Copies of this chain bind each other. A is one copy, B any other.
């Protein structure tokens, strides 16, 4: 098959941008055509390794003669402007999450997306993790009948720097937002949000008025209840577990082990360094699958890429969780 390779313009060359560049290079259907970063050295390094033309000016990329689609991996405050510019140039765009921290700006974008036919995808990569995707497929196939309870445990290896927390929008909008999307993925619309938070170990979070330990309870329109358990640190490695419970049983996704070796001795059985330590390693396959799904979208094929609607819904839950935790109440989310 001699399909033309899709030319990708990559904006942003931080940790996630680099990962995307690597995945673009490894995917035979696409090529890295342009790379933009205001720190042009970052763009140059990426281009040297994975191909494409480097630039310090993202607007240079937004040209259908130069690229067929755009991947936005720049800081959150730039997301909406870049998505809007892509729409204006008729360029399909995959943007990293979150869309924005301000729901009113997201609502403005929502209107623009709705009135355009340019595909816009949102980077909720965890939906494409082989484990979560298999669990979702099997739950959707009715293996446990209707889901009654969904339990998600996500724990980061270590708290981010205070400077990051200061601009993150808080733990619910920054970290839990992935789990909010996962809850919607499995349960559909959420109508009620409770949240309990504590700041137990991270001085940076405390100074910023943020929590490092939270539990959120969501009620779906179906009546099913989701529980999300988060911590900003974890001695045992990056934790990402999920359990769906229904009348027919339980579907479980366990943490990814980092070794197949165990030692049994007089004191017990132990396995070394239990779980994969970085979300980049944990979700390597997910990022590649997310990209492949986006390419389908750019080609007009059926695609399950998450949308701006998904991003907006997750942000609304995050806002509700924030208010629930602060005001010690239960927050209802309206139909719209």
Contact = CB atoms under 8 A, between A and B. Distances in A.
Contacts of A143: 263, 265
Contacts of A217: 194, 196, 215, 217
Contacts of A213: 148-149, 223-225
A138 B194 contact: no
Contacts of A196: 192, 194, 217, 219, 225, 330
In this complex, the member of A155, A254, A265 whose beta carbon has the largest number of chain B beta carbons within 10 angstroms is A265
A268 B264 contact: no
Interface residues on chain A, size class? 35 or more
Interface string A172-201: 000000000000000000001010111111
A59 interface: no
A332 B196 CA distance: 13
B259 A131 contact: yes
18 contacts: A131-B259, A138-B261, A149-B231, A198-B223, A201-B247, A215-B217, A227-B229, A233-B247, A235-B250, A235-B264, A236-B269, A254-B262, A266-B273, A268-B271, A268-B273, A268-B274, A269-B270, A328-B330
